[in-house]
Structure 1
């Protein structure tokens, strides 16, 4: 593992582009300054110390000084690198913010809103680096502070989880909102910028089932509700919950429930009728 020295301008902060071709590998190395990496486009695998993360669009990393890391690209990967000196980090504001990261590097997967805020701040920094006027040297550290505050708030938020857990929850939430659509494993993985194999492993590690198994469970739970609470035809329920053929619906329902949809509905109403007669 090698130390790679980076030179910084007088401001102690530098934002620049780092391009990596498809299949490229950046071997394990470290820096003696801070870095924030933002994946602008593409995808790859980022290893920090001994932990690997999928690094795709809107992924972000805070690397502490002397933190070893490497990158293996899958497709062409474009990264914005925000490097800042240890001297900048000891300023009262930034030093206080960095304490929230508990003296370790972090990987973040940004939601759409947060990603928009970060991109806006990065654009401002790129503009200030053109040295538009004499105030640029004050503006750049200010935007760095704003970016660190944004990441620190992600770290602090009670519902913030590590990147892998957050991605699992995002997949689950997507399925819950779109279960009635024609969803395949490949399309779902593409939606989140990861491979099908990686997605299945990630999801199964938390929920003990694959995303498609979860999709079937959501659909059948909804079907059971409609069978018991409405008088809709079974073919209509099949259509509503996202199945293209009645045979697939029947087969899946029977596998998960142990009864056909018709038998499930009849048994419920027979049981309800018996209870009514007894009372």
Structure 2
């Protein structure tokens, strides 16, 4: 596969919210599907393998694979997803999303199966995994969905770009995950990230992390960036600002109170940090919500 020649065709991109119980009977799809489980629980069968899906999990379905999906429990299922071809093909506009088993397909439909190029090294993407940086994946996926649904001028460039970004995220997950597993660092780094997550509302320093987890600052930065593509402090600032952005957009809490809740000394320090990470001021997200 020549990476420079990849030009995805986006067939469907949507944020789907479904009440339980919900089932997709066994089917084969002609294209690829990326499904990100945000809410609820799923039981997913791919060929003979059964997976339990929790919020934050990714499912990746490939052309010609038998699979079935059903909800577990009573919670609403939220599963933004995208169907795509890896490259634009002459029949790409004609191919639909399949809900059929191979036995139910016409001879013409059986000709629609795309060649699967994402099941062998070095471009292998598994059917199910839990990304280390789900916030990044979620953000790019929703950028794609918004562009595809609203179709502003030249949206075609943006959806292709977002899909390529998603593919890079998925492939890097496997590349860096495999490397970290070989080095035996997954649990250690996950513990550090959990600590940062739990201290989102206060300052966290490299010195503090180095002392608590008995690792040099240089080695900590190297390991963390290899796994999560950002330093520990960058990650802390990012999740801090994501939480702030959600509060700004989805509540009427004063900006000064949000700043205080997240451990900032004052609104001015908060505003500078927010703009550095998000590229826009806090008031921009409050006005444009």
TM-score range (shorter-chain normalised) is: 0.3 to 0.5
Q: TM-score, normalised by structure 2?
A: 0.46
Whichever structure has more helix as a proportion of its residues is 1
Asked which structure has the greater RCO (Cα within 8 Å, sep 6+), the reply is 2
Rg: which structure is higher?
1
